[in-house]
Structure 1
């Protein structure tokens, strides 16, 4: 029996190790087993995290990370919804949205800090355990080595050897830097023990056959991984196969190299794909870094000192939002710089919106002060409107009107109302003054003479005068005519016919399109105001003047509409008057429409 054991073939040499440790770099897009998403409120998420923090770190760390991400997604969605509602309901166009403070977030941060401390303590404990396990595995190796040095009692120590092997394999959590060296020493001593062991050849062959079957199965599993489209998953599976390989004993010596080379070749395919995958990721991260850096530079180059109006700030805001949307389309840069780039980009955006808020607040404050000043002038005018001290009150109101012109603009939603209040008080006084200080008959005679002078001026227009100049002259005289009040009743039909006749002659000859020409000319005027110093103040004052003119024309139109009801169109003179009033009313409507277009043009430049 001893002779047959001495002639047993030597046990297999240990296969060389292939590093299978995953790189430390994180993989963008890597998937993992994720539980189905459960819709929770932010309060429920915080409550869950509060409960999970009390449990062991290794059991809950992934779940806590997932809940944290869900919390901030919900918070972001709430802010966006609040922003949208704010934009839909805000009263002031330039009002800036500010998210409400999040008290839950402070509780969440406190819980996460507590968990972070537990994770640090857990990691420290794991390192301590690894060192303890390393010491224990080295002790087991020393015991196995001692068995190989006692060749006289090798058969008797086989059970002890198996127990030591089992103990060695059960200890898995050790420092990564010691894994390969420790495993090589273990394999060396195992081979030495088998080479010395004088056991029954059938038992040894059985072990070799069993190990051979297991290693062939691992080779086939490794080869099948080359068809797996999930590169990261295939690499992790390969690591698990290598761990299994290490736990399987030797095979017959003549098969060792062939079997190991087959397994190593299959591993090389997976390792190469894995390496190429990370190289591709690295190249993409470099491009993303360059793209994100370019966006940071672009937003940092914006000079907010050049933004002098609401419109300019709004246009630049659209550019900033477009850059933010573009940022979202860019993938991750390398872990080393990705967070730094995000902080740089966010800081630049925050700085822009901070300056915008300061600008809007300053303008709003100025408009609020202007509104108070104009309200004070309204009160002064209203206090004087019933006065019968015609001379002194007239001088005072004229001074107040001049002071009004020196005050800057107010917010659009108050502008028209405060102007109407002011001008109504002024107009009331001057209407009362006109009634008390003028003779109606004298006024009508003066009006008649003025209208005759206008007809004479219309007749005096040279037919050879250029169309544009002639058109302007006709419109100028028409405007003067419309400002003149009533004439003596006996003269009104005659003077109307003369005026209508000369106008018809000019209208036919000149084919006038004044409103369009005036609007084109006014466009240039608005553009000049918009590009000048204190552009907004000048544009607001121009807008107030237009609103005032519009209200005046509207009142005049209303007067004509009321007077229409008193005409007797059955008479020849009544029919003539009706046509003249209808023509005047149409002119007023055209003028009012032109003013509306001018106001819209100013609003586009504010």
Structure 2
């Protein structure tokens, strides 16, 4: 609203000032009709053709609504086509926007309308200039009529005709309107002041003008009950125009009639102002909501998504936000296009990133398919092999490699897996069938060896005169039994050697003591042959002692070079350790014999 209208609402304008306020000063919209809901681009194009064909002069609001709605539908259609293309496996780099015939027609028709509006604007401006000159001429004529009572009385009828001409002349340039009205009103009042000699004619005009202005007051007051606020406001502008064009009333009634009209106008203006304040508040709220949706989409765009399921989840989120956007009304006019462009840019960025991801994923899928196809071919080449050990290792290696390859599309992946699994199963089933007899034999050998170990454990708990012979017999029997299952081998080996070591240790102590006692008894017979015989025996034992000592050193040196990282190497070390321990035990026994000879010599 302009300064005059604000002043009118605040009760600051006089009746004379009211006549200075042109209708064009109002900033109300041209129409309060609800915008038509267009469901397709074809409907919008048809409406534009109708405007052009009928020579209509549409409002700016309608043209903005047609343009905004058309491009919303146009962009949604374009995005839908692009999405369908990408989902069907299309290459994003090769996607080309196809020309839209509706858009071409839309632009052409809109261009015609814009040219017409420019032409009409120029014609209206030219007409306003003509009207300005006409009204200036009327003012000049009335000015010359009001120079004396005689001239006023003589030209009264001509004056009335000039007033009617003034009413018939429409808009003038807005920047000249106020000054024009002031001058017109000034010379009209001067003319009436010169009519005091023709009081009857003047009183007749005053009474007639009062009747007209009273009717205008009543019409303005009635507008307070009008449900359509915008319509009421526009009707009020017409009443203002008529009020301005109506001549003055008697001086004593001027303030009263003006106060009545002003009071009625204030009510309508306040309702109109409140309506647009609510409308603007709603638009601001819409802008806030749309800004929040922009921020949500922009946050989604900034995310990192590494799986197709992540992108599909976010796509549903974006589509949901777009649906919510469509439910929200317009934002303030100066921001409506900007906020839509921001929202569209964020959505476009998301779908562009999604297209790039699926393009890259398609390439990775193709690489993974090629890798798995190669493994399938290798497995199929090996599935008829009878080299069980070597081929088993190769098949297991292929299976491990298969697990390291990334995902492929489900349908293709299932087909490749079926082929790969079939090849692997064929080989392993054939190998298992061939080795079934061997496994049965190995389980039988396992039972035999467990039985021998149980007998050895039983010998370790009792005392038997022929213990050594029984142990040796079981050892020989154990060594004749064949292979056992591979998984049981190490456990059985450990159990067997633990009981055998215990038995050998017990046997060694017992036998060594008995042998030493026998040696001591035999020394008496040797002593009878003389001292020289004892010395010879001692010398022989010393040579044997030194020999065993040298042999122990050799074994221990060799042990330092053996590697126990493999099972075979570990078994060899254990065997050599057993030999070293036996040599040490034998060397100790020889040492005891030497001591016995020395004791006999004393």
TM-score of the pair, normalised by structure 1 = 0.59
Q: How does 1:18-57 map to 2 (within 5 A)?
A: 19=21, 21=24, 23-24=26-27, 31-32=32-33, 42-43=41-42, 45-47=44-46, 49-50=48-49, 52-53=51-52, 56=55
| C-alpha distance in 2 between matches for 1:255 and 1:451 | 134
Match of 1:175 in 2: 173
Task: Give the deviation of 1:444 after TM superposition.
Answer: 5.1
Q: How does 1:75-90 map to 2 (within 5 A)?
A: none
Q: How does 1:565-604 map to 2 (within 5 A)?
A: none
Match of 1:588 in 2: none
Select which of 343, 346, 349 maps to 1:351: 349
After TM superposition, the structure 1 stretch with the greater mean CA deviation from structure 2, 361-370 or 155-164, is 155-164
Q: What count of residue pairs does the alignment treat as equivalent?
A: 432
Q: How does 1:113-262 map to 2 (within 5 A)?
A: 113-149=111-147, 151-197=149-195, 202-262=200-260
| C-alpha distance in 1 between matches for 2:273 and 2:41 | 40
Task: Give the deviation of 1:223 after TM superposition.
Answer: 1.3
Task: Give the deviation of 1:69 after TM superposition.
Answer: 6.2
| C-alpha distance in 2 between matches for 1:329 and 1:64 | 21
**Computing the radius of gyration over CA atoms, which structure comes out larger, 1 or 2?**
2
| C-alpha distance in 1 between matches for 2:336 and 2:80 | 28
DSSP-derived class of the 1:173 partner: coil
| C-alpha distance in 2 between matches for 1:331 and 1:121 | 33
Task: Give the deviation of 1:100 after TM superposition.
Answer: 7.2
| Cα 1:149/1:335, change in 2 over 3 Å | same
Q: How does 1:384-423 map to 2 (within 5 A)?
A: 384-386=382-384, 397-423=395-421
8 Å CA contact retained: 2:15, 2:258: no
More helix by share: 2
8 Å CA contact retained: 2:220, 2:264: yes
Match of 1:58 in 2: 57
TM-score of the pair, normalised by structure 2 = 0.60
Match of 2:370 in 1: 372
DSSP-derived class of the 1:408 partner: coil
| Cα 1:222/1:120, change in 2 over 3 Å | same
DSSP-derived class of the 1:154 partner: helix
8 Å CA contact retained: 1:57, 1:122: no
Q: How does 1:498-577 map to 2 (within 5 A)?
A: none
8 Å CA contact retained: 2:379, 2:424: yes
Match of 1:599 in 2: none
8 Å CA contact retained: 1:14, 1:191: no
Match of 2:525 in 1: none
8 Å CA contact retained: 2:149, 2:196: no
Unaligned runs of 5+ in 1: 1-12, 454-606
| Cα 1:183/1:60, change in 2 over 3 Å | closer
Task: Give the deviation of 1:239 after TM superposition.
Answer: 0.8
| C-alpha distance in 1 between matches for 2:144 and 2:287 | 57
Task: Give the deviation of 1:266 after TM superposition.
Answer: 1.3
8 Å CA contact retained: 2:35, 2:65: no
| Cα 1:322/1:452, change in 2 over 3 Å | farther
DSSP-derived class of the 2:27 partner: coil
Select which of 274, 277, 286 maps to 1:276: 274
Query: Relative contact order, CA 8 A, sep 6+: which one is greater?
Result: 1
| C-alpha distance in 1 between matches for 2:447 and 2:340 | 75
Task: Give the deviation of 1:40 after TM superposition.
Answer: 8.3
| C-alpha distance in 2 between matches for 1:359 and 1:292 | 28
8 Å CA contact retained: 2:384, 2:427: yes
| Cα 1:114/1:259, change in 2 over 3 Å | same
| Cα 1:148/1:261, change in 2 over 3 Å | same
Q: How does 1:332-481 map to 2 (within 5 A)?
A: 332-386=330-384, 397-432=395-430, 438=434, 441-442=437-438, 445=441
8 Å CA contact retained: 2:301, 2:350: no
Task: Give the deviation of 1:391 after TM superposition.
Answer: 7.2
DSSP-derived class of the 1:409 partner: coil
Cα deviation 1:320-340 (Å, max 9, x = unaligned): 455545545555443333332
Task: Give the deviation of 1:255 after TM superposition.
Answer: 2.0
Task: Give the deviation of 1:60 after TM superposition.
Answer: 8.2
| C-alpha distance in 1 between matches for 2:41 and 2:290 | 31
| Cα 1:249/1:114, change in 2 over 3 Å | same
Match of 1:500 in 2: none
